[in-house]
A and B are shown apart, each in its own frame.
Chain A
Amino acid sequence: MRKWFARLAALGVALLVAGQGTTAALAQEPAAGKKIIRVGATQSMDSMNPFLAVRLISTSIHRWMYGFLTVPDSKTLAPSPDLAESWSTSEDGLTWTFKIRQAKWSDGQPITAEDAAWTFNKMMTDDAAKTANGPAVENFESVTANGQDLIIKLKAPQASMLDNPVPIMPKHVWEKVTDMANYDAEVYPTVSSGPYFAVEHKKDQYVKLQANPNYWRGKPKIDELQVIFYDNPQAAIAGLKNGDIDLLGRMSPPEFEAIQNDPNIVAWNQQGRRSAYLQINHGATTSDGKPVGDGHPALKDQKVRQALHYAIDKQKLVDEVQNGLAKPADGSIVPPMYQDFFWEATGDTKVTYDPAKANQILDDAGYKKGPDGIRTMPDGKRKLEFRFSIHTDTPIEDKLAEYLTGFFKEIGISLTTKKLDSSKFTEETGVTGLFDIAISGWSVNPDPEEVLATHLCSRRPSPTGEGGGTESFYCDETFEKLYKEQQKELDRAKRAEIIKKMQERLYTDAPIIAIYYTNDLEGYRKDRIASITPIPEDNGILYGGSSYWPFYTVEAKEAAASGSSAEGGSNTGVIVGVVGGVVVIALAGFLLSRRRKSTADERE
């Protein structure tokens, strides 16, 4: 009796499930026919409020949603019109007038200079609104609107005005916000001026964006752009292979190799926006010039730093540490992707791998080798034993440390690795100066002013021990002077020359040593994405660049087929899974009841 009851129940459940499975398939049907592209991300959004959001994922999504005064040109990366269709500067470089384009917000309201003025004034007057992009308005004296003209008066000339990172927000929606610090902006649909507007955000799950029909360049070619969040890169890669997502950016070399041979995936390997370098504690000081930390005294000597530079085989690091997916750095912190500002050493200034020369430099400077092969300071007091600070749980940095240890051994310098968790690392290498050599890197924006500023005297920690954002504890008169010069130079070509000189200074004085520029590694599905244009257009980035261009130009493969196949795929999975589960349960139930019966028989 019991056996039959169990079997009947199982059958009932199976039928019910099968029936519901079909309705599940039907429920998802409306999605088919729409052109949807799904982008994977290994970070989730911290905030939908552009005044507060700081994560890269959030600023990227906001770039797809909101217009800026200017954006990088898709070919040259030079500033080009966005919401500002033209601009002019006063003689003294202090007054900028932007003419705002006649266009509409996604809700149909006109975009005016008032919107831009409100956005900047909000940031200048409300501390909470400064959270995301505070430095961008620090130099602003006043911002006013006059018809479609936006007039910005500056305190001091600033050439990087055209790389302003502040998205312009609709005044008619946002002026109602009273408590900016706690406003999460979860109101949908959003009122946007970019190619897309957000329609849904499930926290830590996904964001759905829809094509903005009012976008001034015209509606994007796809209907919906979804950004799907993963907590770990392995799952995201599995998602790409599986077709749950169509594009995934910012991969590490091992992750990239996992998708390289997948026939359905285009493996995107292009020059990137990131440079990796070593910071050298060349005598860290606080902003009042007092020494701080415990850096090795030998590193104060430019000759020692130069010798270290000669001892590093950058090509080998690229081949062995980055699996060949990088470019050796013969320049400084601006990667070659930014052609206008990129500087590369040539002739006598160029440092090439030459351990003999490195040894020569150290011999000449009086650092003699001891019986153990390790050099000592010229006064014989201290050995040249340096520490190399890296992050915990970063296999690539572990490997790098191994190679550097080998290179420096060749020139009589010993290197020991010191692993620190990220907050301790930031503290020791940016505030307390408790390091000799440390790994570092920076993702550079189309305007490199920001990364250059991390080497200014003013960025050193305060005497009371508060970090100011220095990357090297650098404080150099020549560098400071050049920085101020480039701020005033409004001619792009002339400014680029000054910026190159700054990089040359960093290269020869060597407070940092650039080792390589990592490639931009991404992957997208051939069967879903028909075409996508990187930025810059010839060989650039898809995801994570400073532009919406790739996601504005992206075109999906035939909507109906792809849409339904993706949906159908996941649905089949559900049905197969559920039916499979039911079969297993039914089988288990069957066996169990049999077993019970047989044991009962045995015992009775």
Chain B
Amino acid sequence: MTTPLEAAEPAAQAAGPGDERPTRRGTLQYALAKAGGALFSIAMVIVGTFFVFRLLPGDPVRNLAQGRNMTPAQLDLERRRLGLDKPLIDQFFQFVGDTLRLDLGTSYEYKRPVIDLIGERIGPTLLLAGTGLVIAVSLGVWQGTRAGWRHGSGFDRFSTGLSLLLWSVPTFWLGLLLMMVFGVGIGPIPGLFPFRGIESVDAPDGFAYVLDVASHMVLPCLTLVAVVYAQYLLIMRSSLLEEVGQDYVTVARAKGLRDDDVRRKHAVPNALLPTVTLVFMRIGFVVGGAVTVETIYTWPGLGQLFYEAVRVPDFTLMQGTFMLITVAVIVMNTLADVVYHVLDPRVRSA
């Protein structure tokens, strides 16, 4: 039983020397320290974003022309409109000021405020990536628990093998394959699910609309879950494996508890911690959407927006989506740290 003690030491130091008892104040201090770190990271992201995107090659104005003919006078005009004629340092201060006011600028391509574009896309993204995350986590945790509990069984080998196979498959390829099989249909099998967008063109109203959206979510969700659930499965499986050999499990068994109860009430809660961290970290990425999946299935989310921005390239739009994704990841990581602190007494105190 030395392992938990050792693991807890660095965290205990972070909570402040002399703070030996788990108090609410300790948690608050810890959370504030983490939040401070996160704020610093976000500030660095804002500064970094500006310069990284200025380093990209190419003249944004020419890229905007997209092969259309533009006279030099018109190119000048566009440059002035986008503020690209000003010195870099002026552009920088302008950028920082605007960003702090949540003004992410106007998209070069769509000629609309980036914040509006993001607002339109965040709903579909949260719906798709959020559902995908919930399903992937449930499936992964469920299969991982079973696989870990009966280590080496047929179920273990099958589920671990399958999830690893799917994990190794390129998302784009799997997406197209699913589209062909379940979208278009093969041989006598008709196309079962729509594979474009979030709703039908002549979408019905009411509850039928919910069904319509749900049917549009089947293939993107399936692709999304198939390629990522392996990580939850493997983490859950390995952390449960560690618990299986522990004394307290033996004690619980010795007490004559049912196998299911030993697993559910004793082993799993202890094994769940690494998964919780992973889930929180993934929630941060949910905001970024799933660029590939959204692109295959024309899902009108943030991933698709980012893809469009890179394709043009639309600097302000790239900056905006990039910052949103990074900030979301930072915030969620911080939250993960804090939640971990709250959940696991071993982290709080030695």
Contact = CB atoms under 8 A, between A and B. Distances in A.
Contacts of B62: 426-427, 430-431, 467, 469
A526 interface: no
Given A135-B69, A235-B298, A424-B58, A205 B198 contact: yes
B313 interface: yes
| Chain A residues touching B, majority SS | helix
A455 B235 CA distance: 61
A24 B75 contact: no
A54 B74 CA distance: 14
A357 interface: no
Contacts of A21: 211
B67 interface: yes
A250 to B, nearest CB: 13
A431 B58 CA distance: 9
A565 interface: no
A423 B192 contact: no
Nearest to B204: A27
A28 interface: yes
Given A205-B300, A450-B69, A467-B59, A578 B81 contact: no
B70 A135 contact: yes
B294 to A, nearest CB: 7
B295 interface: yes
Contacts of A230: 196, 298
Contact of A442 (B67, B77, B193, B258): B67
B196 A135 contact: no
B184 interface: yes
B214 A578 contact: yes
A431 to B, nearest CB: 6
Interface string B109-121: 1111100000010
A60 interface: no
Interface in A116-130: 127-128, 130
Given A426-B59, A570-B200, A578-B214, A232 B296 contact: yes
Contact of A468 (B67, B72, B77, B120): B72
A229 interface: yes
A600 B258 contact: yes
B159 interface: no
A205 B77 contact: no
Interface string A216-237: 0000000000101111101100
Nearest to A445: B69
A573 B195 contact: no
Interface string A413-442: 000000001111011001100000000001
Nearest to B107: A46
Nearest to A128: B81
B78 interface: yes
A315 interface: no
A282 interface: no
B56 interface: yes
B45 interface: no
Interface in A1-50: 17, 20-21, 23-24, 27-28, 31, 38, 46-47, 49
A423 B57 contact: yes
Contacts of B81: 127-128, 181
B193 A204 contact: no
Contacts of A453: 69
A431 B62 CA distance: 10
Given A47-B110, A578-B214, A431 B59 contact: yes
Interface stretch (B31-39, B96-104, B175-183, B236-244): B175-183
A576 B194 CA distance: 12
Contacts of B218: 577, 581
Contacts of B204: 23-24, 27-28
B7 interface: no
A422 B60 CA distance: 11
Contacts of B112: 47, 182, 184
A426 B111 CA distance: 22
A569 B112 CA distance: 37
A426 B58 contact: yes
A172 interface: no
B202 A567 contact: yes
B57 A238 contact: no
Of residues B69, B71, B199, which shows the largest number of chain A Cβ atoms within 10 Å of its Cβ?
B69
A572 interface: yes
B215 interface: yes
Contacts of A596: 260
B201 A38 contact: yes
B20 interface: no
Contact of B201 (A226, A238, A242, A458): A226
B290 to A, nearest CB: 13
Contacts of B109: 46
Interface in B47-66: 56-59, 61-66
B111 A52 contact: yes
A466 interface: yes
B277 to A, nearest CB: 28
A484 interface: no
Interface in A557-587: 567, 569-570, 572-574, 576-578, 580-581
Nearest to A55: B66
A134 interface: yes
Contacts of B74: 130, 134-135, 138
B72 A577 contact: no
B307 A231 contact: yes
Nearest to B120: A203
A134 B184 CA distance: 44
Contacts of A572: 190
Contact of A20 (B70, B195, B208, B297): B208
B70 A231 contact: no
Nearest to B58: A423
Nearest to B112: A184
A54 B69 contact: no
9 contacts: A20-B208, A24-B212, A27-B204, A134-B77, A138-B74, A231-B304, A242-B191, A459-B72, A467-B75
Given A466-B75, A570-B194, A600-B258, 6 more contacts: A52-B111, A427-B59, A466-B72, A567-B202, A576-B190, A580-B192
Interface of B: 56-59, 61-79, 81, 106, 109-113, 120, 176, 179-180, 183-185, 190-202, 204-208, 211-212, 214-215, 218, 258-260, 294-298, 300, 304, 307, 313
Interface of A: 17, 20-21, 23-24, 27-28, 31, 38, 46-47, 49, 52, 54-55, 127-128, 130-131, 134-135, 138, 181-182, 184, 202-206, 208, 226, 228-232, 234-235, 238-239, 241-242, 244, 421-424, 426-427, 430-431, 442-443, 450-451, 453-454, 458-459, 462, 466-469, 567, 569-570, 572-574, 576-578, 580-581, 596, 599-600, 603-604
Nearest 7 A-B pairs (CB), nearest first? A423-B58, A27-B204, A24-B208, A134-B74, A424-B57, A231-B298, A603-B259
